[in-house]
Structure 1
Amino acid sequence: MKPTVSIIMATYNRAQYIVESIKSIQAQTFENWECLIIDDGGTDNTSEVLKPILKEDNRFSYLKRTDNYAKGLPGTRNYGLDLAKGDYIIFFDDDDIAHPQNLEICVHEFKTKTIDFCRYIRAVFTGDFNYKYDFSKEYTHFEIDKKDVNRILKNELLFNSCAIMWKKECFDANHYIEHLMYAEEWELYSRIVAQGYKGISIDKILFYGRKHEQSNTGEFFKQDPVRVKSNADAIVLVFQNLKKEGLLSSSIIRYFIQVSLDYKKYNLFNRIMLTLNLSKKETLKWKLYYTQLPLRLFFYKWYKKYLKK
């Protein structure tokens, strides 16, 4: 039977976590799904620990990323996207835990509303997971469309990879940028919403992310140069897309010019200006803003500190 939902799980050397993640998928109250486990060239015993599960449950497929896709999370997920058979797509990580009602509630929202995606709440945990779930089906929701793109870009409205179910059509012309090693989902999901796809956000925790230093996010906050450079590259791609969709505003330009102060090594400010291709007058205005910004931020922080006294 054709699966309703395709779960795409990229994996790389996570044998110590992946079985627990897989069992949370098997515990789903909605059962018509496929799970594509795509290995990005790991060297541990992931294939061995998965053998019993693959033998007993044919909804799981274990594949190795082919050379047609770049090594890394984006390429691995793109391979899964091109194989997926479901009407809906969801990305689960290989070290996290899905709420048993995750698929059931999201599919219900798609069946009862005209939406392209269903966002939900993602909680985080460290160490052993506490298997005490809230099985209530009472929750509120709000709508999301292209007017919310700036909130997504400023991380005021988080779009975590494992906290959204999408209609497959959202990815017909949209895939991950494969050279990005950080912020790839942030760039892709803001791009999809900017194109006019609409969805909802429901106020219920349906996913639990495991926090540890070996994650991409953990490496970024440790200032891993590959992750930091990728974030700068993603910002430039975001500006290209905003320009294409006619969604650029002074507020979002101002926000990322301030961000670019932390990315001088990657020439982010000049790359933003090059992408914007503004008039000489407008370019000069933003260059002056950028030059004066450190001093303005210094006095702003001093003023806030003074007010607290």
Structure 2
Amino acid sequence: MNKRVSIIIPTFNRAEIIKDTIESIRNQTYTNWECIIVDDGSTDQSEIKIPYYFKSDNRFQYHVLPVNLNKGPNPSRNFGFNLATGDYVYFFDSDDILMPFAFETYISNFENEYDAVIARLEKVDYNSKKTISINTIQSENIIEDYFTGIVSFYVCGPMWKKSFLDKQTQLFDEEISNLDDWDFNLRMLYNQPKIKFLDEVLIHYFQHESSLKQELNKLNLSEIDSAFRARYKHLALITNYGLGFKNIYLGHINNFYKHYLRLTLRSKSGDYFFFLKKILKIEWELFHILKIFKIIIGTFLYKYLKKGERFLY
């Protein structure tokens, strides 16, 4: 099989990091690919440095996202997809690393009926280079488990058949700044693609101090708001598609609110009341009257006496 892979990489101010990513692509044992790098208006001389890294390899392309388009990784991915000519599409980030045999493994597992092949990845701390975890990609209840984070593909786990993606009405949602890959992968799952799951780890996925997940844990309210807008979007989609009971997913959303309520109380942030109101609204909708009293009691016990955190779960 000699199918072409289109690799799409958004980048912003990663001129000093992306070199290793480019080298991991150049070193692939499978050689029939094109790599489309889309720069979202970098200010670190990326337009000079990045093309220099691959000046002798015409399989790489460097594009600057047009100024009339929305900014961000999602518009960059969509723009790159429109330039792709491959049989398969692989979305990648500008700071991650592929195993040398990654594409060969993906391609050898693609059969005619598959819309995607999904591999596992190793999450690595960027500074220490120590392994944090290896993700789970399979489940008997994949929609619910992907929604809750038990299963996760990230943006770089799947390789997609381009003909499957061509049929979608939307690829990456340009209104979402957090959980963008979560949103994309879930919407693809709603279309019931035929997937081959691989047990091999083919990617090193680097976790940075400045990553969006870290921003959530730092209680960046704008990013938290984006994350919850994405979750409510999918609550509506799941209900519309008849893919599960609304109350189950609403309960999962409430668990995330409780997580941030606990974080704000521990950090003595005044934002705790924002999350408390959200939790009480959902508990009321779920008719959990006793839980409403437990949450209220637990919140104020912890705030003033540093006790009662067990009521906040």
Does TM, scored on the shorter chain, surpass 0.5? yes
Taking structure 1 as the reference length, the TM-score comes to: 0.80
User: By how many angstroms is 1:143 displaced?
Assistant: 6.5
Structure 1: 5+ residue stretches without partners:
131-140, 274-281, 305-309
Structure 2 CA distance for partners of 1:16 and 1:246, relative to 1, 3 Å:
same
Residue-by-residue CA offset, 1:12-61 (whole Å, 9 max, x unaligned): 00111111110000001111111000001110022222233342111110
Per the alignment, residue 47 of structure 2 pairs with 47
- Cα RMSD of the aligned pairs, angstroms, is 3.2
Aligned counterparts of 1:218 and 1:156: Cα–Cα separation in 2: 18
Aligned residues of 2:37 and 2:61 also touching (Cα < 8 A)? yes
Task: Describe the SS at the equivalent of 1:162.
Answer: coil
**2:137–2:151 Cα contact (<8 Å) kept:** no
Match 2:257 to one of 257, 260, 263: 260
- Shift of residue 89, structure 1, vs aligned partner: 1.1
1:195 matched residue in structure 2: 191
Q: CA deviation at 1:211?
A: 2.2
Match of 1:279 in 2: none
Q: TM-score, normalised by structure 2?
A: 0.79
How many residues align? The count is 282
Letter in 2 for 1:27: N
Q: In the alignment, does 2:145 pair up with 1:148? A: no
**C-alpha separation in 1, matches of 2:175 and 2:13:** 20
Q: What is the CA deviation profile of residues 105-132 of structure 1, one whole-angstrom value per residue up to 9, with x for unaligned ones?
A: 1111113x622111111112333769xx
Q: Is the 8 A contact 1:70 1:179 kept in 2?
A: no
Q: Give the equivalent residue in structure 1 for 2:6.
A: 6
Compared with structure 1, are the counterparts of its residues 51 and 164 closer, same or farther at alpha carbon in structure 2 (3 Å cutoff)?
same
Q: Please give the per-residue CA displacement for 1:68-102, whole angstroms capped at 9, x wherever unaligned.
A: 53111111111111211111111111111111111
| Residue 175 of structure 1 pairs with residue 171 of structure 2 | yes
Higher-RCO chain (CA-CA 8 Å, sequence separation at least 6): 1
User: Is 1:244 equivalent to 2:266 in the alignment?
Assistant: no
1:254-293 mapped onto 2 (5 Å cutoff): 254-261=251-258, 262=260, 265=274, 269=278, 284-286=285-287, 288=289, 291-292=292-293
Aligned to 2:152: 158
Distance in 2 between residues matched to 1:150 and 1:233, nearest whole Å: 17
- The structure-2 alpha-carbon separation of the partners of 1:287 and 1:260, relative to structure 1 and needing over 3 Å to count, comes to farther
2:231 is the alignment partner of 1:230: no
SS, match of residue 16 in structure 1: coil
Residue aligning to 1:184? 180
- Equivalent residue runs for 1:38-187 within 5 Å: 38-111=38-111, 114-125=113-124, 126-127=126-127, 147-172=141-166, 173=168, 174-187=170-183
Query: What is the rounded CA distance, in whole Å, between the counterparts of 1:246 and 1:205 in structure 2?
Result: 33
Change (3 A) 1:258 1:129: closer
Identity %: 26
Gaps of 5+ in 2: 131-135, 262-272, 300-307
Pairwise mapping of residues 20-39 of structure 1 onto structure 2 (< 5 A)? 20-39=20-39
Q: What's the counterpart of residue 17 of structure 2?
A: 17
Taking the aligned partners of 1:67 and 1:268, their CA distance within structure 2 comes to: 40
Deviates more, 1:155-164 or 1:165-174: 165-174
Counterpart code for 2:53: I
CA-to-aligned-CA distance 1:156-178 (integer Å, 9 cap, x gap) = 11121111111123433231111
**Cα distance in 2, alignment partners of residues 186 and 268 from structure 1:** 26
- Is the Cα contact below 8 Å between 1:34 and 1:86 reproduced in 2? yes
Mapped contact 1:97–1:208 kept (Cα < 8 A): yes
Between structures 1 and 2, the one with greater helix share: 1
